[in-house]
Amino acid sequence: MTSSHNMVPQLHIHPILWLFALTAVLTGTLAEFLVIFFIVVVHELGHYLAAKWYGWRIRKINLWVFGGVMETEEHSSKPIREEAWIIAAGPLQHLWIYGVLFLCKESSAMPASLVEIGFLYNTTILLFNLLPIWPLDGGKMVFLLLSYIFPFRLAHTLTIVSSIAFSLAAVVSLLLFFPFTLSAVMLTGFILWENRLEWKQRYYIFLRFLLKRYLTPITEKSKIRPVIVNPNTRLLHVFFRFKRGQTHHIYVKPSKRQSDWLEEHTCLDAYFKMKQHQISAGELLSRSK
């Protein structure tokens, strides 16, 4: 748990949000926009406060329509359960917002029309963020689930592929079954653009995961999972088998001795510190004896 020092996050408003604000002014829907902005800020503060509780280092919060992105220094280096709580902390804020809106409705503290708008957008933003699309909370939960089952690199690739597929299906549904709206087109375009960037950066994201793992080895009690490779397997392909929250022993087969294995930190050290990017697992094992 962290202290209250430096508890105010740095907020960055995405240009698309300014565009939505301008559209709201021009179309006379400023009240609706302010309601959406308030709910989005509360949602992101839920993520932020949960992250500070666990001692995460936060760079800033990027706000955009119907959600935002909290940028951290952790890069998939924390326990999956811990990250799951931080992701869930955003959607959980909508529950007390429902309570406040209900009290306002019963006490007539707010105009009935504004309360109804609040109920509508609180539900819309909650459901939208639970969609299995990256970088929404639902997409991040999918990534955590896949990371629990598959190695990090495969889990990340499957997350982005499924996110793009779901996004395209949503676009087709919007065009076929719902009336055309500028906000829906802008939001869909933004989501697809974010997924495109994530796909282009997937190799960099994987290397960042490895580097973070190398610099801050897993200190918690974790399951040891063997990774069995042949002697010609390059280190990078060995790393493709690494999973979050698990420590790996790399066994090189066939081997004359059952005890012939490498610690994952030895492999990471050879790759990042010694710059032996092309070395194979068999060669590293022979040098380590």
- Model confidence pLDDT, tens digit, residues 195-247: 999 999 999 999 999 998 898 766 555 688 899 999 999 999 999 999 998 88
- DSSP label at residue 226: E
Q: What DSSP string describes 131-180? A: SS-TTSHHHHHHHHHHHHHS-HHHHHHHHHHHHHHHHHHHHHHHHHHS--
Beta-carbon neighbour count of residue 103 at 10 Å? 12
Q: Are 212 and 42 in contact (CB under 8 A)?
A: no
- pLDDT for 5 equals 47
- pLDDT for 218 equals 60
What pTM was estimated for this model as a whole?
Answer: 0.84
**Residues labelled as active-site residues:** 44
Average predicted confidence (pLDDT) for the chain:
85
Q: How far is CA 267 from the centre of its chain?
A: 27
Mean pLDDT for 176-180 is 71
Burial 213-234 (b: 16+ CB within 10 A, else e): bbeeebeeeeeeeebebeeebb
